[in-house]
Amino acid sequence: MATAIQENGINSLSNGNLSHKVDEQNSSSPSEQSESIVKSEETTADNSETPEIDIVINNVVCSFSVRCHLNLRQIALHGSNVEYRRENGMITMKLRKPYTTASMWSSGKITCTGATSEPQAKVAARRYARCLQKLGFKTKFNNFRVVNVLGTCSMPFAIKITAFSERFKEHAEYEPELHPGVTYKLYNPKATLKIFSTGSITVTAPSVADVQAAIEHIFPLVYEFRKERTKEDILALQLKQRGVKRKRSFTHIDIEEQDYEEHFGDTSDEENYGSDESWD
Amino acid sequence: MSNSSRFETNKICCYAHPDAPLIEDYRAGDQICSECGLVVGDRVIDVGSEWRTFSNEKAGNDPSRVGGPENPLLNGSDLSTMIGPGRGDASFDSFGVSKYQNRRTMSSSDRALINAFREINSMADRINLPKTIVDRANNLFKQVHDGKNLKGRANDAIASACLYIACRQEGVPRTFKEICAVSKISKKEIGRCFKLILKALETSVDLITTGDFMSRFCSNLGLPNMVQRAATHIARKAVELDIVPGRSPISVAAAAIYMASQASEDKRSQKEIGDIAGVADVTIRQSYKLMYPHAVKLFPEDFKFATPIDQLPQM
């Protein structure tokens, strides 16, 4: 029970997240955005109803060097949006446009976190180097590499993690007292997956392709231990999604709305209580 | 007494029952065949340690005894001699300071080991763990110490984690919070060391189940056996029917105890159960809310309800 997966490029969801549309149809529609990683990977699908899984990349961590000694004190005094912590010996600089944070050391090595895709990370890295150049340092752009990518995805079914962890004792580790999810370590695309009982999976891997490969690898294993979501679980999931969106516009949590939803189910139009945000 | 040079058998065995194990009788110094009672070896010298210790004030200073048993598995077995504390006038020099003060460098390589064993012993003593668990924990610590890949970690953290693993391996797991209560290391650090030790020793442990904790929690709360059995049944059924996905077995056990106690005559509040089990009472409330709708299916058939199911608290 494998899924046939092909990337279609990046479609931006209205909540500001970028997601790779992981699609099993072989449609090769050209993507409008310039930042797209078009790769097609197909694994044979046995049954006709192969599902579609959205993989959302949340964080890309990259590291590069500017090959010159940085005077941290000078950057702290003259740079904007910087923070200097002397006990750690590093500068933290934040950028607004790809919303990222960079840690800079005086040796010239810089770690940039918070980007949501690999090309974005490169743009952000170049912006940081440019910013340092404007402050007067002779910077070069050297040795850019993506160190870590964090992606999340949600299976359309719940997962029986106790049985899963017993079956894959060599790779999986489940300690309910320490963490509510199973930590599954893969070695051939080197990746660490955290699998939760709700069906959400977070993957950390050295590159975006590895994230995708890891999800492809884990899907048949997890499919074996699926559990149909009950109505309460679906309601709880919807509430959580709406709650995240609502937090931006309301400052308090409306209890009456939750009860309303529990009793009357999915009534998304009626609950648009004067919020400017558009639901998808 | 047959002396055979075959590899599989002992050197001494009963001629009629070569496979029978021999029982040693220390008082008479004999080796006796367990099948027929024939005395096979005689005048066997007892190489065990002195097992009689006199409890007077000068315990440990009695020079006519050979001293405590060696710890051969766990120490360097260096057979070193310690200079005892001086008595009499000759061992003090003119200032009243004792000469021959060299007691410090007895076994520097194993100093950490001895400290850790003492720590494990005191921790286990506080929660009344039997000697088998302490021995297993000591063994684990020795293995970890020899492996040297956790060298940077605090020895106390490794000792606590070894104690935790030993309890798990013996089939009587203690929660991390219980180990935290007798150790000065934080739960996070013990958890980290736990994972590192499992990786270093390449072992794995079984998953904890709700039933492992029932007897301890229930007797700490003073609940009768009927309630304990009912709670065990409830928790097991809840996990089987998977109505509490993703919840820690401790929380499920605590909620089951709450449900069983509320249905019987000895009611316990969520706060009391939370104190004993080390879970927050909101956690018990969450798990209880998930279990309450299925209460009819969870209780055992022969349970006598002091409070019927429909009057159980809905919180």
Instruction: Provide mean pLDDT across the span A193-204.
Output: 94
| CB nearest B245 (choices: A166, A178, A197) | A197
Cα separation of A77 and A136, whole Å?
13
pLDDT digits 0-9 by tens, B72-119: 666 766 666 666 666 677 777 777 776 776 655 566 677 888 889 999
pLDDT digits 0-9 by tens, A206-226: 999 999 999 999 999 999 998
Which of A169, A175, A227, A234 has the highest number of chain B CBs within 10 A, making it the mutation to test binding with B? A175
Residue A227 contacts B, CB cutoff 8 Å: yes
A contacts of B249 (beta carbons < 8 Å): 176
Comparing B13 with A24, the larger pLDDT belongs to B13
pLDDT digits 0-9 by tens, B174-185: 999 999 999 999
Provide the strand spans (E) within chain B. 22-25, 30-33, 39-41
**Residue type (1 letter), A141:** F
Instruction: Specify the pLDDT at position B279.
Output: 94
3-state secondary structure of A77: helix
Phi first, then psi: give them for residue A149, nearest 5 degrees.
-130, 130
B5 pLDDT exceeds 50?
no
- Give B30's pLDDT tier (boundaries 50, 70, 90): confident
Instruction: Specify the pLDDT at position B135.
Output: 94
Apex CA A165: angle with CA A160 and CA A166, to 5°?
A: 105
Which of B180, B242, B243, B247 has the highest number of chain A CBs within 10 A, making it the mutation to test binding with A? B242
Cα separation of B228 and B143, whole Å?
38
Instruction: Give B302→chain A minimum CA distance, Å.
Output: 29
Return the half-sphere exposure (C-beta side, CA atoms, 13 A cut-off) of residue B244: 33
CB contact under 8 A, A176 and B248: yes
Instruction: Provide mean pLDDT across the span A44-59.
Output: 68
Cα separation of A51 and A220, whole Å?
12
pLDDT digits 0-9 by tens, A33-44: 333 333 333 333
Instruction: Specify the pLDDT at position A265.
Output: 43
Give the alpha-carbon dihedral of B88, B93, B98, B100, to 10 degrees. Answer: -100
Instruction: Specify the pLDDT at position A262.
Output: 47
Cα separation of A122 and A127, whole Å?
9
A230, closest residue in chain B (CA to CA): B243
Q: Which of A105-119, A120-134, A248-262, B249-263 has the lowest mean pLDDT?
A: A248-262
Residue A220 contacts B, CB cutoff 8 Å: no
A152 pLDDT exceeds 90?
yes
Instruction: Provide mean pLDDT across the span A155-163.
Output: 91
- Listed in sequence order, the DSSP H helices in B81-186 are 111-126, 131-147, 155-169, 176-181
Comparing B166 with B62, the larger pLDDT belongs to B166
Spell out the long-range contacts of B149-152 with Cβ–Cβ below 8 A and sequence spacing 24 or more. Answer: B149/B196, B149/B200, B150/B193, B150/B196, B150/B197, B150/B200
Instruction: Specify the pLDDT at position A40.
Output: 32
Cα separation of A190 and B171, whole Å?
34
Cα radius of gyration rounded to whole Å, chain A: 22
Average pLDDT, chain B: 84
Instruction: Give B245→chain A minimum CA distance, Å.
Output: 6
Phi first, then psi: give them for residue A142, nearest 5 degrees.
-125, 140
- Give A181's pLDDT tier (boundaries 50, 70, 90): very high
Phi first, then psi: give them for residue B259, nearest 5 degrees.
-65, -45
pLDDT digits 0-9 by tens, B35-74: 888 888 766 665 555 555 555 555 555 555 555 666 766 6
Comparing A257 with B133, the larger pLDDT belongs to B133
3-state secondary structure of A174: coil
B20 pLDDT exceeds 90?
no
Residue A265 contacts B, CB cutoff 8 Å: no
Q: Which of A165-169, B111-115, B194-198 has the lowest mean pLDDT?
A: B111-115
B192 pLDDT exceeds 80?
yes
Instruction: Specify the pLDDT at position B310.
Output: 87
Q: Which of A163-177, B7-21, B142-156, B289-303 has the lowest mean pLDDT?
A: B7-21
A137 pLDDT exceeds 50?
yes
Answer yes or no: pTM beyond 0.95.
Answer: no
CB contact under 8 A, B191 and A178: yes
Instruction: Specify the pLDDT at position B1.
Output: 47
Residue B250 contacts A, CB cutoff 8 Å: yes
CB contact under 8 A, A165 and B207: yes
Q: Which of A228-232, B130-134, B163-167, B224-228 has the lowest mean pLDDT?
A: A228-232
pLDDT digits 0-9 by tens, A74-98: 999 999 999 998 999 999 999 998 8
